[in-house]
Amino acid sequence: MSEVIDRPLREDDKPAATRLRIVDCDVHPSLRSTDDLSEFLPKRWQQHLKEYGSHLRTPYLFTTPYPRSSPLIARRDAWPPTGGPPGSDLAFMQKQHLDPLDVEFGILQVLDLFIFSQQNLEFGAAIQRAINDWQLAFWSHRDPRLKASILVGQDGVDLAIAEIERCAKIGEYVQINVSPRANEPLGRRRYWPIYERAQELGLPLGIHVGGYGGHAPTGGGWPSYYVEEHQSNAHTIAAQLASLVIEGVPERFPKLKFVFIEGGFGWIPSAVWRMDQHFERFRSEVPHLKRKPSEYVREHFWFTTQPIDEPDEARHLRSLIEWVGIDRLLFSSDYPHWDFDDPRFAFKTPLTDAERKKIFSTNARAVYKF
Amino acid sequence: MARHIVASTSEIPRGGNKVVDVAGRDIVVFHVNGEFFALLNRCPHEGAPLEKAACVARLTSPEPGIYQRSRVGEMLRCPWHGWEFDMRNGQSWFDPKRVKIRSYPVAVERGEELQKGPYVAETFPVHVEDSYVIVEV
Ligand code: FES
């Protein structure tokens, strides 16, 4: 007979004061409505938002990005009792997520208003500015566990730099977020001024999957189904990893750190093996690379864990974790989205206490310096 | 196994559910088309609360482009990752042998009958004219 998984709650499944406090690198706050931004968005852009809304590059007419799998891609139990969309009520987020899971720090990742996909760069920059201020006023200042990111649209490089300077002066942000679906691959030279500034400021670059670019998310074109598209998150950021490494970004900016968020990590070994193998053969094409791609990956890139891969055999997950590196992984829950990972059950393979500590806390604390 | 009176039938509307604590267990009782089902209130995957699950139909497709719905309301779709379970026995749709929610036998009995039996002692007030949902744990 095969084993039936109908696990009752064990004593150590319950969060307790003695258990590891975690750093959650992917928490999604939401606007209750765009009115939340009224104090941060100049009148001219409020008007624009009302009259024109988003101008995106999605190819299909009437393809709204939501619902995907469930309304607002959210857990069904994450709708605040007070109304508003999931992730929009701090008290409820505290009660449902931060307190019971013993989250010591949560890093905010805002996706509202298709923030990285706006084609009107001025409008995009105005929204990014407003959202950056809103993250502090509505979240970090009300709950110091929550850490904000500087969101910028890298296609308007000068606008992005101006926003980075403005936020860096405030000094409360823990990373700079750029889009994984910009006009060009992330390694291209046009984006380097952002990387240069990030290195000088000592801020990691966060790249959260998703968004709507004008390019198909797979090399084969546009997927028909959401399940197919969800799969493509991994291809998209694998391509971005290759672009950054092979264009020489880590070679050029030796102190820069990248955090790939919500891309999972199962795809990494094969992507890196292949890069190394090709590098051996085609070295002369990329003489600006002084070391093997895998070495750059191991020093400059971190990966958040969700959505975690669930192979049939736990030991396969174990080898993946070992190969990618216990030091490279940062726990993330993706709260309140439907593919949320519960830190108590997501890793269906044994981890030692020391390993847990790294993945759930100290790796992130070292990358983000808190 | 002991029998526990957990609700009067009118307390759980069609399509609704009630969470009860029976012998220290968090159990959720669903009402589907006049039938009641009791399951552990916890998804075997990552532990989501099943009281927030959607009661959906079984959707099958013999070939691309053809879709069939059956057993409307009898499948449970987990509120987190959407794994689907059969409410009748807790079996998961994608891996029925390995993954299941613990389910409990349920009966509906008239208050009249219950008052005759040993169940009057339960703290739940039982009225002769009502019907009650009984879960066996
Ligand atoms: S917790 Fe139910 S499907 Fe994942």
Q: Do B100 and B91 contact (CB within 8 A), yes or no?
A: yes
Helix (H, G, I), strand (E, B) or coil at A277: helix
Q: Residue A256 is encoded by which pair of tokens?
A: 């820069």
Predicted confidence (pLDDT) at residue A112 exceeds the cutoff of 60: yes
Question: In which region does residue A175 sit, left (phi positive, over 0), alpha (psi from -120 to 50) or beta (all else)?
Answer: beta
Helix (H, G, I), strand (E, B) or coil at A123: helix
Q: What is the pLDDT of residue A223?
A: 86
Chain A CB within 8 Å of residue B81 CB: yes
Q: What is the pLDDT of residue A173?
A: 98
Inter-CA distances, A85 with A76, A95, A135, A200, Å = 11, 16, 16, 37
Question: In which region does residue A256 sit, left (phi positive, over 0), alpha (psi from -120 to 50) or beta (all else)?
Answer: beta
Q: Closest Cα to residue B75, out of B59, B98, B64?
A: B59
Q: Residue A193 is encoded by which pair of tokens?
A: 């001024």
Does B79 sit within 8 Å of A77, measured CB to CB? yes
Rounded average pLDDT over A114-123: 92
Task: Please report the atom of ligand 1 found closest to the CA of residue B79.
Answer: 2
Q: How crowded is residue A177: how many other Cβ atoms within 10 Å of its Cβ?
A: 28
What is the distance, to the nearest Å, from the Cα of residue B77 to the centroid of all Cα atoms in its chain? 13
Residue A277 amino acid letter: Q
Look at B130 and A4; give whichever has higher pLDDT: B130
DSSP strand pairing (B25-32 vs B17-22): antiparallel
Q: What is the pLDDT of residue A2?
A: 39
Q: Do B79 and B54 contact (CB within 8 A), yes or no?
A: yes
pLDDT tens column, A35-55: 999 999 999 999 999 999 888
Q: What is the pLDDT of residue A14?
A: 47
Q: Per-residue DSSP letters for B16-62? A: -EEEEEETTEEEEEEEETTEEEEEESS-TTT---GGG-EEEEEEEEE
pLDDT tens column, A352-366: 999 999 999 999 999
Q: What is the pLDDT of residue B118?
A: 61
Interface pTM, i.e. ipTM: 0.85
Q: Closest Cα to residue A199, out of A261, A254, A132?
A: A254
Q: How crowded is residue A199: how many other Cβ atoms within 10 Å of its Cβ?
A: 18
Predicted confidence (pLDDT) at residue A10 exceeds the cutoff of 50: no
Residues facing residue A268 across a β-bridge:
none
Chain A CB within 8 Å of residue B137 CB: no
Residue A177 amino acid letter: N
Predicted confidence (pLDDT) at residue A12 exceeds the cutoff of 60: no
Inter-CA distances, A168 with A228, A286, B130, Å = 38, 34, 67
Q: Residue A264 is encoded by which pair of tokens?
A: 């999972």
Burial environment of residue A39 by CB neighbours within 10 A (0 to 12, 13 to 18, 19 or more): exposed
pLDDT tens column, A124-177: 999 999 999 999 999 999 999 999 999 999 999 999 999 999 999 999 999 999
How far is the C-alpha of A70 from the C-alpha of A9, rounded, in Å? 27
In chain A, % of residues over pLDDT 70? 93
Residue B115 amino acid letter: Q
Q: Do B24 and B90 contact (CB within 8 A), yes or no?
A: no
Does A6 sit within 8 Å of B40, measured CB to CB? yes
B83 lines ligand 1 (CB under 6 A): yes
Q: Is the dihedral of CA A334, A335, A336, A341 positive or negative?
A: positive
Nearest to A75 among B45, B80, B100 (CB): B80
Chain B CB within 8 Å of residue A79 CB: no
Q: What is the pLDDT along chain B (137 residues), one digit of tens a residue?
A: 788 999 999 999 999 999 999 989 999 999 999 999 999 999 999 999 999 999 999 999 999 899 999 999 999 999 999 999 999 999 998 888 889 999 999 999 998 888 776 665 456 778 888 899 999 99
Predicted confidence (pLDDT) at residue A9 exceeds the cutoff of 60: no
Burial A293-318 (b: 16+ CB within 10 A, else e): bbebbeebbbbbbbbbebeeeeeebb
Q: Which phi and psi (to 5°) does residue A277 adopt?
A: -65, -45
Q: Which helix (H) or strand (E) holds B98?
A: none
Inter-CA distances, A232 with A215, A221, A237, A334, Å = 12, 10, 9, 17
Q: Do B12 and B36 contact (CB within 8 A), yes or no?
A: yes
Residues of A in contact with B25 (CB under 8 A): 8
Task: Read off the pLDDT band of A59 (50, 70, 90).
Answer: low
Residue A76: CA count within 13 A, CB half-sphere: 18
**Torsion angle (degrees, nearest 10) of CA A100, A102, A108, A109:** -70
- Å between B36 CA and nearest CA of chain A: 21
Q: Per-residue DSSP letters for A39-89? A: TTS-HHHHHHHHHT------SSTT--S--BSBGGGB-GGGS-TTSSSTT--
Chain A CB within 8 Å of residue B96 CB: no
pLDDT tens column, A64-87: 667 788 888 999 999 999 999 999
Q: In which residue are the tokens 């999931």 written? A: A86
Average pLDDT for chain A: 92
Does B46 sit within 8 Å of A338, measured CB to CB? no
Does B79 sit within 8 Å of A6, measured CB to CB? no
